[in-house]
Each structure stands twice: as structure tokens, then as C-alpha cells.
């Protein structure tokens, strides 16, 4: 069992570069999930299917796809929070994190 001081903090965000969305800030909880062996295996699964026969230089893995979906899910929640306005507290930061995590693990 890992000690309390082992591994990355769940609060430490990281900025990663996505080929489609540029620099995206990823919350620490998502980084912890991305650092697992199970998530890293997604790098070997191609998302494009048979398209790679037509476009051999095209590369889009399930891992890249999942990170992009997590980013878009977070953007959606933040936009929805703005639309609702500051008086509405229906969407918490924990809710936002849950939606991003669901996007990452979908």
C-alpha cells in the first residue's frame, strides 16, 4: 500500500498539449487516473478504425480521444455555470470534476 506522501497530489493540476485544443489544464484527480496502467493502455487503441488505411499518417488514439472528451465536458459545465449566473449554485466544482472524470473514463 502506498504511503500518504507517495505519488502526485490530487490537487496538483497539469497543463498538457492537445493537438486539437492546444494547451489544456487537467485537474489532479484526472491526472491520477491518467497515470494508471489501465488508462495508459488506451494509447495502443486506435480511434479512427479503417480511416488509417485511407489516411496512413492520421493518428488518434482512444487515450487522446478520452482526454479531449474530458476537456470538452469541462468546458460545457463551465459554460452552463456562466449561463446560469452567479446566483445559481446548482453546479459545484465537484460536479464539474465529476463530469470531466466521466468524459475521461467514458
At 67 the three-state DSSP class reads helix
Q: Tell me: the pLDDT tens digits for 37-89?
A: 999 999 998 888 888 788 888 888 999 999 999 999 999 999 998 888 766 67
Q: Is the pLDDT of residue 1 over 50?
A: no
Average pLDDT, the chain: 88
Q: Tell me: the pLDDT tens digits for 6-49?
A: 555 777 899 999 988 999 999 999 999 999 999 999 999 888 88
Mean per-residue pLDDT for 88-99?
A: 88
Q: End-to-end CA distance of the chain: give it in Å, rounded.
A: 28
Beta pairing partners, 46: 61
Beta pairing partners, 22: 18
Share of the chain above pLDDT 90, in %: 58
Amino acid at each position: 500500500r502506498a504511503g500518504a506522501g507517495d505519488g502526485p497530489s490530487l490537487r496538483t493540476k497539469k497543463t498538457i498539449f492537445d493537438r486539437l485544443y492546444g494547451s489544456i489544464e487537467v485537474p489532479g484527480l484526472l491526472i491520477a487516473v491518467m497515470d494508471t496502467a489501465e488508462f495508459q493502455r488506451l494509447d495502443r487503441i486506435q480511434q479512427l478504425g479503417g480511416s488509417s488505411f485511407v489516411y496512413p499518417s492520421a493518428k488518434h488514439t482512444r487515450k487522446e480521444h478520452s482526454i479531449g472528451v474530458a476537456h470538452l465536458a469541462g468546458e460545457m459545465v463551465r459554460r452552463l455555470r456562466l449561463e446560469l449566473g452567479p446566483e445559481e449554485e446548482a453546479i459545484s466544482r465537484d460536479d464539474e470534476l465529476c463530469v470531466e472524470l466521466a468524459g475521461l473514463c467514458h
